[in-house]
Structure 1
Amino acid sequence: MRALLVVNPAATTTSARTRDVLIHALASEMKLEAVTTEYRGHARDLGRRAAESDDMDLVVALGGDGTVNEVVNGLLHHGPDPDRLPRLAVVPGGSTNVFARALGLPNDAVEATGAILDALRDRTERTIGLGLAAGTPGTDDEAVPARWFTFCAGLGFDASVIGRVEQQRERGKRSTHALYMRQVVRQFLDEPHRRNGPITLTRPGEDPVTDLVLSIICNTSPWTYLGNRPVYASPQASFDTALDVVALSKMSTPAVARYATQLLTSSPERGPRGKHAVTLHDLTDFTLHSKVPLPFQMDGDHLGLRTSVTFTGVRRALRVIV
């Protein structure tokens, strides 16, 4: 078996010594090429190279959710073809690792490597669905290239929080759950649209859902983690279905307190609910329009401002080792 290991040297929770141990363990079981990323987008380029190779069987991503997203976008550059494309394996190395944990992998890099090697020996894998987001034809965002996401995307409030976190990290702050929570509070206090939502969701054959303040698109559940606590924004979301949406039409202080409590106490059976909560399950095609440019994020990566994004849920897009 020939495999490519894509290593993010800036991975939050993985030391150089741990990386060396993992490389040695993987190389003992396969013909391994290990490449360390050197620039933003490098992991995507490596994934594309692997997809275009005639003899690459596996791509292993060692890093956080951003690294995984880049590798996936490289693998799917020419579109999904799970029977032809190399399989994907993920070794968590970031601060949250939502995708790896949603697949059922341990959050420790060494333990996850052991689980992946066991899965390869046992030939266990699954074919998962992914989300695809693109600029909407006929809008100012028409030229925005399509991009795949593995577990979530968001337009508005949550993307604003991620943008704030990235700014803090650029100033030298560590990516911690406390940092995220502080930025949630600050964004809420500064949020200009919390009483008059600018977002409208449209889908074929259905009435539009209007005046949304917050919109989160989930491809799996949990949506995220607070430490070891899973948070279920869309409990029904699954890698085996299309996309789920959870949205809020009001973000007053009482409403936010209620929904925050519901998220913190959420479970695989019960997520956010109430008259201002909109939950939609298993959507294959829909569009989010905003009256004003809003921050947009995919898999925890802030991608700038958008006024319209079209989403597609693609079942059976990629094979992963589990």
Structure 2
Amino acid sequence: MRALLVVNPAATTTSARTRDVLIHALASEMKLEAVTTEYRGHARDLGRQAAESDDIDLVVALGGDGTVNEVVNGLLHAGPDPEHLPGLAVVPGGSTNVFARALDLPNHPVEATGALLDALREGRERTVGLGLTSGTPGTDDEGVPPRWFTFNAGLGFDAGVVGRVEQHRERGRKSTHALYMRQVARQLIGEPHRLHGVITLEQPGEDPVRDLALSIVSNASPWTFLGNRPIYASPKASFDTGLDIFGLKRLSASALARYGTQLLTSSPERGPRGRHVTARHDLTQFTLHSKVPLPLQMDGDHLGLRTSVTFTGVRRALRVIV
């Protein structure tokens, strides 16, 4: 087997020495080429090169969810073809690693490398569904290029939090759960639409759902992790179904207290519920429109401001070694 290892040198939870150990362990079991990313989008370019190669069987992403997202977008630049494209393996090195943990992979990079080698020896793999975003025809965002995401996306509040965290990381701050919680509070204070939402959910054959103040799209469950605690916004979301969406119409202090508590105590059987909640499961396609430009995030990566985004759930899009 020939594999390409894409290494993010800025991965939060791995040192240069640890990465060297992992590279030697993988190279002992396969013909391995290791490439260290040098710029934003480099992992995507490497994934595309692997997809266009005739002799790459596997791409291993060593990094966080952002690295995985870039590799996936490179692999699927011409569309999904799981039978002929290289498979994907993940060695988590980020602060949260939602995609890997949603696949029940170990969160420690050394343990994950051991599990990967065992899976390769035993031939364990899974074909997972992914989410795809695109510009909406007839809107200002019509020409925005399509982009894949692996576990979640959001238009509005949560994307604003992601953007704030990225600004701090660009200044040299380490990505921690405490940093995220502080930015949640600051985003809330500065959120102009928390009491009167500006997002509309449209899906074929259904009445529009208007005035959402929060919209979270999930391709897997849990939605995210707070330390070791899984948070379930859409407990039924799965790599084997379409997309789920969780929306809130109000972000008042009382609503936040109620639904924030429900999120913190959520489980695979029960997510947030109430009169301000909108929840949809297993959707193939839908569109989120906003009256004003709002931030968009996918897999924890801030992608700028958008007024309209069409989401598509694509089943059986990519082979993953598990």
TM-score by length of 1: 0.99
What is the SS of the residue equivalent to 1:155?
strand
1:172 deviates by 1.9
What is the SS of the residue equivalent to 2:255?
helix
Instruction: Kindly provide the CA deviation profile for residues 257-294 of structure 1, in whole angstroms up to 9, marking residues without a partner as x.
Output: 11100000000000111000011000001000000000
Give the alignment of 1:177-216 within 5 angstroms.
177-216=177-216
Distance, in Å, in 2 between the alignment partners of 1:303 and 1:60 is: 24
Distance, in Å, in 2 between the alignment partners of 1:31 and 1:225 is: 34
Q: Which amino acid aligns with 2:28?
A: S
Distance, in Å, in 2 between the alignment partners of 1:61 and 1:203 is: 34
1:173 deviates by 1.5
Aligned-residue sequence identity (percent) comes to 82
Q: Which amino acid aligns with 2:36?
A: T
Per the alignment, residue 176 of structure 2 pairs with 176
Q: Which amino acid aligns with 2:93?
A: G
Unaligned runs of 5+ in 1: none
Q: Which amino acid aligns with 1:317?
A: A
Instruction: Kindly provide the CA deviation profile for residues 192-235 of structure 1, in whole angstroms up to 9, marking residues without a partner as x.
Output: 00111000010111100100000000000011001111111100
1:220 aligns with 2:220: yes
What is the SS of the residue equivalent to 2:196?
coil
Distance, in Å, in 1 between the alignment partners of 2:196 and 2:254 is: 16
1:99 deviates by 0.3
1:306 deviates by 0.1
1:190 deviates by 1.0
What is the SS of the residue equivalent to 2:161?
helix
Give the alignment of 1:71-110 within 5 angstroms.
71-110=71-110
1:80 deviates by 0.2
Distance, in Å, in 1 between the alignment partners of 2:273 and 2:109 is: 35
What is the SS of the residue equivalent to 1:121?
helix
Distance, in Å, in 2 between the alignment partners of 1:254 and 1:217 is: 23
Per the alignment, residue 254 of structure 1 pairs with 254
1:124 deviates by 0.5
Distance, in Å, in 2 between the alignment partners of 1:253 and 1:300 is: 25
Per the alignment, residue 234 of structure 2 pairs with 234
- Count of aligned pairs: 322
What is the SS of the residue equivalent to 1:145?
coil
Give the alignment of 1:269-280 within 5 angstroms.
269-280=269-280
TM-score by length of 2: 0.99
Distance, in Å, in 2 between the alignment partners of 1:115 and 1:274 is: 40
Distance, in Å, in 2 between the alignment partners of 1:284 and 1:93 is: 31
Q: Which amino acid aligns with 1:177?
A: H
Distance, in Å, in 2 between the alignment partners of 1:246 and 1:161 is: 17
Per the alignment, residue 132 of structure 2 pairs with 132
What is the SS of the residue equivalent to 1:180?
helix
**More deviation in 165-174 or 178-187?**
165-174
Give the alignment of 1:18-97 within 5 angstroms.
18-97=18-97
Distance, in Å, in 2 between the alignment partners of 1:275 and 1:151 is: 26
What is the SS of the residue equivalent to 2:166?
helix
1:60 deviates by 0.1
Per the alignment, residue 310 of structure 1 pairs with 310
